[in-house]
């Protein structure tokens, strides 16, 4: 009876529901309430049977003790299963991997009743180091912030074996690789027993889940199995986080690509519109200003064009840069001229500067400077370069038209200033066509400054278009025939030529006429006057023949005979002496007078000894008489010598 009674108690704790196939599911186990009720009933029976069954009491107490142990085991398993279920729920409900890992370490510490639980994960893509990513319990910052190589410590042993590893005494265990760095931190934390479980999913090792105790108390197999299950959940969380990041990255890339395609499509459409508008201007006429307005509108900025000398030609927009430019911008202009592409020139006043150079063949028309409100994209830069090409085509077209017009103007100017204009009918037709009307005309002859021919021609054409007349390059000079008096030409056209050629000393002469048929003679006077001005060193000025007094003899048609009438009385004997004896006393005397009668300086300029110079002066005194040194005769001698030196250049037949 006693044995059967004990069997009933034990079998009660292991009884399964009808139809059960076994396993560890909670539904196949007796509940705590049912077990306690059974215990209560048994105790009542024991009381009732205490007297007759006194001899069975020890066996009953042993059965109750056994039942309590089984109950504690079931309660522990129930808590573990509940923790695993909660961890599984975290995976489905929590998207933040760090929160899942925090929950895993917290459950590990609570269920294993350990001092510290922490999860170490790889720190980078190379996976050479582990660092603490989540922990539960008390630990120093130095321990939490430590990073160790994957092959060191208990974690290294876990990596090598791929299985859970437990050490009962960390300090003395020979089962893993000790390092001073890691040993110092573990010893400082007082860790004695340490369990490491791999955090692995789909063949990838993400890290290691650790459980640590500061006493020598190892973990049971059930606890190790529990930690392994929690580690599996942690691995799934990390794997999901990687997959989520990869998915997010892919989505972001697709969104960026889509946005880029949309932006590119918009930019291409904008570029096509700009190209169409530029083509319209180039094919049907327009101006550089209109092209610059299109550039500024399309690229949201302000723009300026300068000529090859850096002078502003036209600008548009409130933030248009104006010369003079700083060194960085000048260097960018030079670089653009070499590469023939747009060049960034930095930022000024919250605007990004870009420069391009309209160049046709070897001909540079200047530079374009754009001040953009935002940095330009590659498509925007190509749009700017295409617009620059439109400017180039427009200017080349204008240059070709100007070249043709210049050739025509050159022929007309050549007609007017030559004897061919004796054809009155033809001259009148030319006068009507070019508005050469009235009774006041002028011929202007100007030097052409190197590199400024086009600028001077443009300035001259603009003046002639406003006042009547035409301008062309003739015999190497710029020649203009204008329906204005010399004073107006000097004040208007000459000023325009100076503005077109800054930093130069262009020299010009002007001569007036009352009819077009006087122009051939007036042109000769103006051309001779220009030569005279050059010989006299009057660069950078504009003058007419009336300003030169005695020197005007060199400009008149009968200048040779008039010149001889002045020269012969003053230095005739000296010229005859040089002719008869083959000497050069004329040149010696002119150098002496130009040197303010300084014999030493004169001898140095002539390369002769002072004594030789003194002897030559004595000979001149004998030829001209000693009174030539006194004024006014010295002035007459000096003027005669100067006229003689200029005569060869200005009058071909003295």
Rounded mean pLDDT for each run of 10 residues along the chain, 654 residues in total: 41 40 39 63 62 58 66 64 66 69 88 92 76 92 88 90 93 90 92 94 88 93 88 83 85 91 82 84 81 90 90 90 90 90 90 92 87 90 90 83 69 80 74 81 89 84 86 90 90 86 80 88 87 81 76 65 73 88 88 88 89 90 87 83 73 47
Interatomic CA distance for residues 444 and 544, integer angstroms: 9
Integer angstrom CA distances of residue 549 from 444, 538, 545, 556, 639: 20, 15, 8, 12, 11
Q: By the 8 A CB rule, do 388 and 302 touch?
A: no
* Shared domain check, 191 and 239: yes
**Cis previous bond, 632, omega within 30:** yes
**Domain membership flag for residue 255:** no
* Shared domain check, 240 and 131: yes
3-state secondary structure at position 370 = strand
- Stated as kind and residue range, the H or E segment containing 67 is helix 57-93
Q: At what angle do helices 599-606 and 585-594 cross, to 10 degrees?
A: 130
Residue 601 zone, left/alpha/beta (φ > 0; ψ -120 to 50; rest): alpha
Any idea what the CATH number is for the domain that residue 462 is in? 3.30.70.270
Q: What phi and psi values does residue 397 have, to the nearest 5 degrees?
A: -65, -45
Task: Give me the pLDDT at residue 78, please.
Answer: 66
Interatomic CA distance for residues 544 and 533, integer angstroms: 10
* Shared domain check, 612 and 544: no
**Domain membership flag for residue 463:** yes
Q: What phi and psi values does residue 149 have, to the nearest 5 degrees?
A: -70, 155
User: Angle at CA 434, nearest 5°, toward 428 and 439?
Assistant: 60
Interatomic CA distance for residues 276 and 461, integer angstroms: 31
User: Which residues partner with 477 through β-bridges?
Assistant: 474
* Shared domain check, 177 and 110: yes
**Domain membership flag for residue 509:** yes
Q: By the 8 A CB rule, do 275 and 386 touch?
A: yes
Residue 605 zone, left/alpha/beta (φ > 0; ψ -120 to 50; rest): alpha
Q: By the 8 A CB rule, do 302 and 318 touch?
A: yes
* Shared domain check, 242 and 133: yes
Task: Give me the pLDDT at residue 255, please.
Answer: 92
Q: By the 8 A CB rule, do 130 and 182 touch?
A: no
pTM exceeds 0.75, yes or no: no
Integer angstrom CA distances of residue 298 from 146, 266, 286: 57, 12, 18
**Domain membership flag for residue 305:** yes
Q: Which of 39, 54, 82 is the last residue of a domain?
A: 82
Quote the distance between the C-alpha of residue 312 and its chain's center. Answer: 24
DSSP 8-class letter at 45: H
Tokens describing residue 73? 């085991």
**Rg (alpha carbons) of the chain, rounded to whole number:** 55
* Shared domain check, 110 and 212: yes
Q: What phi and psi values does residue 119 have, to the nearest 5 degrees?
A: -120, 120
Residue that has been written with the tokens 């400024």 in this structure: 452
Residue-range definition of the domain harbouring residue 8: 2-16+23-82
Interatomic CA distance for residues 125 and 637, integer angstroms: 101
Tokens describing residue 350? 């919250």
**Domain membership flag for residue 88:** no
**Domain membership flag for residue 616:** yes
Residue 597 zone, left/alpha/beta (φ > 0; ψ -120 to 50; rest): left
Question: Are β-strands 343-348 and 165-167 bridged in parallel, bridged antiparallel, or unpaired?
Answer: unpaired
Interatomic CA distance for residues 220 and 227, integer angstroms: 11
Q: By the 8 A CB rule, do 554 and 532 touch?
A: yes
**Domain membership flag for residue 267:** no
* Shared domain check, 182 and 155: yes
Interatomic CA distance for residues 368 and 35, integer angstroms: 96
* Shared domain check, 235 and 108: yes
* Shared domain check, 117 and 166: yes
* Shared domain check, 571 and 502: no
**Domain membership flag for residue 225:** yes
User: Angle at CA 294, nearest 5°, toward 293 and 299?
Assistant: 105
* Shared domain check, 196 and 108: yes
- According to the 3-state scheme, what is the secondary structure of 392-407? HHHHHHHHHHHHHHHH
User: Angle at CA 122, nearest 5°, toward 121 and 124?
Assistant: 145
Q: What contacts 228, CB < 8 A, 6 or more positions away? A: 164, 197
Q: By the 8 A CB rule, do 364 and 293 touch?
A: no
Any idea what the CATH number is for the domain that residue 160 is in? 3.30.450.40
C-alpha torsion 186→188→215→149, nearest 10: 0
**Cis previous bond, 324, omega within 30:** yes
DSSP3 helix / strand / coil % (the chain, rounded to 5) = 60, 15, 25
User: Angle at CA 569, nearest 5°, toward 564 and 570?
Assistant: 100
Tokens describing residue 90? 């975290």
User: Which residues partner with 193 through β-bridges?
Assistant: 213
Question: Are β-strands 508-513 and 441-446 bridged in parallel, bridged antiparallel, or unpaired?
Answer: antiparallel
Residue that has been written with the tokens 């004896």 in this structure: 581
- Domains: count for the chain: 5
* Shared domain check, 543 and 563: no
Q: Computed from CA positions of residues 213, 217, 218, 223, in that sequence, does the dihedral angle turn out positive or negative?
A: negative
DSSP 8-class letter at 177: B
Q: By the 8 A CB rule, do 620 and 588 touch?
A: yes
Residue 440 zone, left/alpha/beta (φ > 0; ψ -120 to 50; rest): beta
């Amino acid at each position: 009876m006693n044995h059967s009674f004990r069997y009933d108690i034990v079998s009660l704790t292991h009884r399964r529901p009808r139809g059960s196939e076994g396993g560890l599911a909670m539904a196949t186990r007796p509940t705590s309430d049912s077990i306690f009720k059974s215990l209560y009933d048994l105790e009542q029976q024991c009381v009732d049977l205490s007297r007759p069954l006194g001899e069975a009491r020890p066996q009953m107490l042993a059965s109750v003790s056994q039942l309590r142990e089984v109950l504690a085991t079931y309660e522990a398993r129930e808590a573990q299963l509940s923790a695993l279920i909660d961890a599984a729920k975290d995976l489905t409900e929590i998207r933040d991997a760090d929160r899942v890992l925090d929950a895993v370490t917290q459950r590990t510490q609570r269920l294993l009743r350990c001092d510290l639980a922490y999860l170490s994960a790889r720190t980078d893509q190379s996976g050479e180091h582990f660092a603490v990513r989540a922990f539960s319990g008390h630990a120093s910052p130095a321990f939490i912030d430590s990073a160790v190589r994957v092959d060191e410590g208990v974690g290294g042993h876990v990596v090598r074996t791929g299985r859970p590893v437990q050490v009962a005494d960390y300090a003395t265990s020979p089962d893993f690789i000790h390092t001073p760095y890691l040993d110092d931190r573990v010893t400082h934390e007082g860790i004695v027993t340490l369990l490491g479980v791999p955090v692995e999913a789909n063949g990838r090792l993400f890290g290691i889940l650790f459980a640590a105790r500061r006493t020598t108390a190892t973990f049971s197999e059930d606890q190790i199995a529990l930690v392994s299950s929690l580690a599996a959940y942690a691995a799934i969380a990390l794997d999901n986080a990687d997959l989520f990041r990869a998915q997010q990255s892919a989505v972001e890339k697709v969104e960026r690509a889509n946005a880029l395609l949309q932006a590119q499509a918009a930019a291409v459409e904008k570029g096509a519109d700009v190209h169409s508008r530029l083509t319209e201007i180039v094919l049907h006429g327009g101006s550089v200003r209109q092209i610059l307005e299109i550039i500024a509108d399309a690229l949201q900025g302000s723009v300026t064009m300068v000529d090859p000398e850096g002078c502003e030609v036209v600008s548009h927009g409130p933030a248009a840069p104006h010369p003079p430019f700083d060194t960085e911008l000048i260097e960018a202009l030079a670089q653009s001229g070499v590469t023939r592409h747009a060049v960034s020139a930095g930022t000024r006043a919250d605007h990004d500067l870009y420069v391009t150079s309209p160049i046709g063949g070897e001909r540079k028309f200047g530079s374009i400077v754009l001040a953009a409100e935002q940095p330009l994209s590659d498509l925007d830069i190509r749009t700017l370069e295409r617009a620059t090409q439109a400017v180039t085509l427009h200017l080349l077209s204008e240059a070709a038209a100007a070249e043709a017009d210049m050739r025509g103007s050159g022929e007309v100017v050549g007609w007017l200033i030559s004897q061919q204009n004796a054809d009155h009918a033809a001259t009148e037709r030319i006068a009507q066509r070019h508005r050469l009307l009235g009774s006041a005309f002028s011929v202007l002859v100007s030097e052409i400054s190197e590199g400024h021919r086009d600028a001077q021609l443009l300035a001259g054409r603009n003046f002639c278009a406003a006042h009547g007349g035409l301008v062309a390059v003739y015999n190497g000079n710029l020649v203009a025939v204008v329906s204005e008096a010399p004073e107006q030409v000097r004040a208007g056209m000459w000023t325009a030529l100076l503005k077109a050629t800054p930093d130069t000393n262009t020299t010009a002469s002007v001569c007036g006429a009352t009819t077009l048929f006087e122009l051939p003679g007036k042109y000769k006077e103006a051309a001779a006057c220009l030569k005279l001005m050059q010989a006299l060193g009057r660069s950078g000025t504009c003058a007419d023949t009336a300003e030169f007094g005695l020197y005007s003899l060199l400009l008149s048609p009968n200048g040779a005979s008039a010149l001889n009438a002045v020269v012969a009385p003053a230095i005739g004997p000296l010229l005859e002496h040089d002719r008869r004896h083959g000497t050069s006393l004329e040149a010696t005397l002119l150098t002496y007078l130009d040197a303010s009668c300084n014999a030493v300086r004169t001898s140095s300029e002539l390369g002769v000894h002072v004594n030789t110079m003194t002897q030559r002066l004595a000979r001149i005194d004998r030829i001209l008489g000693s009174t030539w040194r006194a004024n006014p005769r010295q002035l007459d001698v000096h003027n005669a010598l100067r006229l003689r030196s200029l005569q060869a250049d200005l009058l071909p037949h003295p």
